[in-house]
Structure 1
Amino acid sequence: MKLTNKILTIITLTIGITSCSEFLEDEIQYTREEVVTTSGLKSRGIIDDIYTDYSFRYTTDFSNEYLTDNGVANDTETILATGYWGPTNNPYNYVWQQSYDNIRQIYQYIDLVHNQDLQVYLSEGNQILNERLIDRYYGEALFLKAWAEWELLKVFGGPSESGEMLGFPIVNGILENEEYASLSRNTYDECVTQIMEDLDIAIAKLPLVYEGDENANPAFSATETGRASGLAAYALKAKVALYAASPAFNPSNDLSKWELAASYAQELIVQNGGLRSLQSFDFDNETNSDHIWRMRNDRNNNALEKSLYPPSLFGSGSVNPSQNLIDAFPDANGYPIDNGLSTYNNTVPYVSRDERFYKFVFYNDDQCFESADCSDFNALEIYEGGMDYYGGFNNSLGTRTGYYLKKYLNNLNFDPSVTTAVTTTLPKVYVQLELNDIYLGYAEALNEAFGEPSILPAGFNFTAKEVLAKIRQRAGLSTDPYLDISAANQSDFRNLLKNERRIELCFAGERFHDLRRWKDIDNIEDIKGVKISKNSDDTFSFENIDVERRNYEAKNYYLPLPYSELLINTNLKQNQGW
């Protein structure tokens, strides 16, 4: 792991978040320690810089999804999901160095700036603003430290060969290389405690949310949205606790850990105004209150649309959802498509499905983003010989599964033949922490802790069923008989909840880690797709096809520590099985 010493990396721009390619073009200034510690504004760049590591990570999220049964890339096989894994080709190896580099940078800020009480503005008359900024940046520092620690724990937490559940080496200060090389991994529970302590400090220093204008609410105004907030810290506590309670990291199934995870999720819900309905799906909405921690936006963005749109919409169709995921979407009444009460008809498989299906997936004959008459674009031709099949509109583009990803996309028009004014760019929102995730975590934890989804346990304000109902209500289920059936026992509710989590959080980079923490990853199915033929009467025929193998073992519940780190530090114990 590279540990820099006297040179601090500062981004000289503001923290406006842009596309991944534009991050690489940001002007970086290498500023010596003595300059940083005598300049209030430059010193805060030590913290601002870290946000860029966690923003606009759609490509990373999609790559994570290719490791699951939810989808594939349209141009290459997902090798790591079909064969050998190891310490040298773990796709998460970057997390180790990135996290420790950021933790070091945070300690640089605390030691060189915060602990020296370096004011942001040196002129008189800015006392209140300075006090708020000093507190806020310290709170941001502790939140970002907790986030880096969380990524280490999420990716590398696991049992040693002896069976001891380990996390990451906890760092308390700026280390020299030789000090780093002598560290050992702390226990998993010690790491959880460290993260929670950091988040509690962040909560004490940060505003719950950023709101109002700068004059009325200096340093805490809505213009600062995108920075760490108290609400984001509450949400992260809930996620950390959920993982700590999960089967992979809680082998004795200590029910108190599940109860604690539910209590942390409830704390977030209460702080957020109680159990409320979720906002409509809208991926260019910059004021969606469900986005607990959304990163600053690029207000003039279309890179994702150009990458994901089907060929006939002038995109590359780079992400292809699997038939497995399509089959997970229930019918319009909320029943699984293989349930006897379902209205699903396999001769017209895209009719009368859950509303999320239409918002998340481009499918054959689809022509709708949001217009009432569903005529936003020409009907997609994903059937053999069609415009969106390989060799159709673009002879080098197509889908390997019969589907393209629509989730996250705005309704833009790239047709060069259009002469009237069209919308070709819109803001893009990237969300790291979202309310639906916390709702799902609450329902899961409460169900596991008490086993009665419809019963309100003492000390809690909402039943697991009530909270999961909010997820399904946004999907168009004003009445939900299947939820009533599933909430009759713990096992059926667990299965429903896992499926809801799969749908709600698809292509957000969550499923791979969910499958690991549930100890389900070695049981996932191979990737399926669909071959569609157009009949002479303009109807379609559908045939399932094999697309990619999935070949995980039980050892994949945990991931290997990077081999390079084991060479540097022989005190590090590798995870079991590696």
Structure 2
Amino acid sequence: MKNISYITGAVMLLIASFTSCKKDFLTLSPTDRVTDNSITTDTAVFEAYVINGYVGAILQTKEGSYSPPGFGRGFEYAMWSSVTDESVYTGNDGSWVLQQGQLSADNTGIAGTFWGRSYRSIRECNYALSVINGLPLNAAHKARLIGELEFIRAFRYQDLIRNYGGVVLIGDNVTGLNSNLQDPALFKRATIAESISYAVAQLDDAAAKLPVNNSSSWALGRATKGAALALKSRLLLYAASPLYNAGTWEAAAAAAKAVMDMGKYNIDQGGYSKLFLNPNSTEIIFERLYFSNTAIHLPIERANGPNGYDGWGGNAPLQNLVDAYPMANGKPITDPTSGYDPQNPYVNRDPRFYATILYNKAAYRGSTVDVYLPGGKDSNQGPSNWNTGLTGYYLRKFMNDNYPIVNPAGVAGAQPWIYFRYAEILLNYAEAQNEAAGPDQSVYQAINTVRSRASVVMPPLSGLSKSAMQAAIQNERQIELAFEEHRFYDVRRWKIASQTENVPAYGMSATVNSANPSGYTYARKVALTGRVFKESEYWLPIPLTEIQASNGQLKQNAGY
């Protein structure tokens, strides 16, 4: 695997907290930070500063020594899936606030860091862009670094836009402690259309400057032309969606097609499970890399494994998601002709189900997952019962069975976190083109390419109306992209969150019953009480501290 020059540990923290140093009466310079003079005169330090933009802005509420943060929460503790109908986090970790409709400007749970960390990163990009022309860099290398900074800045704006709607556009300004806090431009929110147009323009310029391929000197994990175009595709898909109503489906389809026409990426035929363990997969467009003993994430096997294996049972999949997986014949489980048996529910399902979710009697690490009662080792009657998942299911996706669950430090945690992969682009195209022109041949080709992955191979779709294809694409995104931080934003942009999030968080109980062919009686249960969604929650609230810091000039989202 190609190396990546990620800076970690103390060096990363130094560069993240650069400052001008003023001599005091002792005439001593601080030794715990890098001066701005170093950044503006030393090309190696400057490049390290740029690279830190991918992993910096440490403003999470819960980050351990395992993982310096990147653009999102990724694998850490309560994943973003656990504020959706995909999973529920056993230990809460600030996720139940969103699940139970308690979100407010001063009670944001795990959703409170986007605003501050995004604008900090934007400021860091702006600072780098303001000084780069004074550095002795050759023109080509300088252009690439500018492209990277524009990409990172646009990614941060994406996180602001998709969580808050229209945002404050800083432009190239570098704000500081001496900035005029009475300047209304510092707090005026642009419209959603203006916000997206700005980010897309940045990505167009970045795509023109960034390389198509990473080489040994332009390492994996850093932005490429494909990464910039993929982010543009996502933003324009959001823009055209009902919640945003700020763009056209034609533009969204064209943006996805631009990535497809590169001819660089394809669906990984090595298997759905293996895709998420292989940082060199040809399906990956942009990823966060981790390395043992330097920068690793919290080992996901430890954080989410069944309690009978000494796992923590963290992000427990919901029955709501399990029900979305069709049968292997392509029919939904609600179809009376599908062959689904509610008392033998895990037979002949979409292959992605088995690669994503651990269920009662699923094969796992030379044994089986036993959530049944009485006496199942992975139930609340098993060992470490305080780590028992709440739903009767455990997470399977992303897991590497070669990693230990017990004592994983320094050994486990090297899976990449994938921000963009080709399957998303194909589904972006299928959705946008279907909305623009109906289910033409290109729509079928895009979605059926995803469904024909080796080890998945679902029956191809055919003969659907536009509305039926819309429903099929929404279901395909739900199961293909499960746990990859899409569902939260998809149900909102489609404006269906009031339906998907206003139903109970279901799990499944399994009770030993030798009279049933499966050997068990299966019954739904409520895994988390009080699940509710309010109309105001289509957007997150800007944290109250940010509103107060602006002396009330920053406009809050409606309903908060």
- TM-score range (shorter-chain normalised) is 0.7 to 0.9
CA contact (8 A) 2:12 2:52 kept: no
Structural mapping, 1:54-65, within 5 Å: 54=70, 57-59=73-75, 62-65=78-81
Structural mapping, 1:95-244, within 5 Å: 95-112=114-131, 114-119=132-137, 130-157=138-165, 166-177=166-177, 178-179=179-180, 182-183=184-185, 184-211=188-215, 214=216, 219-220=217-218, 224-244=219-239
CA contact (8 A) 1:383 1:389 kept: yes
Instruction: Show the counterpart of 2:554.
Output: 572
Flag the 1:185–1:234 CA change in 2: closer, same or farther, 3 A.
Answer: same
CA contact (8 A) 2:207 2:224 kept: yes
Distance between the aligned counterparts of 2:393 and 2:326, measured in 1?
A: 17
CA RMSD of aligned residues (A): 2.9
Structural mapping, 1:313-324, within 5 Å: 313-324=309-320
Q: In percent, how many aligned pairs have the same letter?
A: 28
Q: CA deviation at 1:173?
A: 1.8
The correspondence for 2:451, drawn from 453, 472, 478, is 472
Q: CA deviation at 1:287?
A: 0.9
**TM-score (normalised: structure 2):** 0.84
Q: CA deviation at 1:363?
A: 0.8
Instruction: Show the counterpart of 1:123.
Output: none
Structural mapping, 1:3-402, within 5 Å: 14-15=5-6, 29-53=32-56, 54=70, 57-59=73-75, 62-76=78-92, 78-90=96-108, 91-112=110-131, 114-119=132-137, 130-157=138-165, 166-177=166-177, 178-179=179-180, 182-183=184-185, 184-211=188-215, 214=216, 219-220=217-218, 224-250=219-245, 257-273=248-264, 280-281=271-272, 282=274, 283-299=276-292, 303-368=299-364, 376-384=365-373, 385-402=375-392
CA contact (8 A) 2:266 2:283 kept: no
Identify the range of structure 1 (467-476 vs 50-59) with the bigger mean alpha-carbon deviation.
Answer: 50-59
Distance between the aligned counterparts of 1:298 and 1:474, measured in 2?
A: 28
Flag the 1:315–1:501 CA change in 2: closer, same or farther, 3 A.
Answer: same
Identify the range of structure 1 (292-301 vs 525-534) with the bigger mean alpha-carbon deviation.
Answer: 292-301
Distance between the aligned counterparts of 1:226 and 1:491, measured in 2?
A: 38
CA contact (8 A) 1:153 1:168 kept: no
Distance between the aligned counterparts of 1:194 and 1:550, measured in 2?
A: 36
Residue type at the aligned position of 1:534: V
Residue type at the aligned position of 2:34: T
Q: How big is each residue's C-alpha offset from its partner over 1:20-51, in whole Å with a ceiling of 9 and x where there is no partner?
A: x9988999751112222221111222211111
Instruction: Show the counterpart of 1:409.
Output: 399
CA contact (8 A) 1:310 1:404 kept: yes
Distance between the aligned counterparts of 2:53 and 2:220, measured in 1?
A: 16
Q: CA deviation at 1:340?
A: 2.8
The correspondence for 1:551, drawn from 523, 532, 552, is 532
Distance between the aligned counterparts of 1:24 and 1:110, measured in 2?
A: 20
Is 1:507 the counterpart of 2:483 in the alignment? yes
Structure 2: state its 5+ residue gaps. Answer: 18-31, 57-69
1:325 is paired with a residue whose SS is: helix
Residue type at the aligned position of 1:156: Y
Flag the 1:244–1:278 CA change in 2: closer, same or farther, 3 A.
Answer: farther
Residue type at the aligned position of 1:191: S
Flag the 1:298–1:397 CA change in 2: closer, same or farther, 3 A.
Answer: same
1:204 is paired with a residue whose SS is: helix
Distance between the aligned counterparts of 1:427 and 1:319, measured in 2?
A: 19
Q: CA deviation at 1:558?
A: 1.8
Q: CA deviation at 1:492?
A: 1.2
Identify the range of structure 1 (97-106 vs 177-186) with the bigger mean alpha-carbon deviation.
Answer: 177-186
CA contact (8 A) 2:369 2:378 kept: yes
Distance between the aligned counterparts of 1:577 and 1:397, measured in 2?
A: 36
Distance between the aligned counterparts of 2:326 and 2:14, measured in 1?
A: 44
Q: CA deviation at 1:132?
A: 3.8
Distance between the aligned counterparts of 1:353 and 1:449, measured in 2?
A: 32
CA contact (8 A) 1:152 1:168 kept: no
Q: How big is each residue's C-alpha offset from its partner over 1:393-429, in whole Å with a ceiling of 9 and x where there is no partner?
A: 3232212110000100101364889xxxxx9647311
Residue type at the aligned position of 2:44: L
Residue type at the aligned position of 2:238: Y
Q: How big is each residue's C-alpha offset from its partner over 1:147-173, in whole Å with a ceiling of 9 and x where there is no partner?
A: 11111111110xxxxxxxx33333322
CA contact (8 A) 2:16 2:49 kept: no
Q: CA deviation at 1:131?
A: 4.2
CA contact (8 A) 1:17 1:296 kept: no
Q: CA deviation at 1:329?
A: 0.7
Distance between the aligned counterparts of 2:225 and 2:519, measured in 1?
A: 54
CA contact (8 A) 1:278 1:290 kept: no
The correspondence for 1:531, drawn from 481, 484, 509, is 509
1:507 is paired with a residue whose SS is: coil
Flag the 1:141–1:180 CA change in 2: closer, same or farther, 3 A.
Answer: farther
**TM-score (normalised: structure 1):** 0.82
The correspondence for 2:492, drawn from 516, 521, 541, is 516
Flag the 1:341–1:536 CA change in 2: closer, same or farther, 3 A.
Answer: closer
The correspondence for 2:474, drawn from 470, 494, 498, is 498
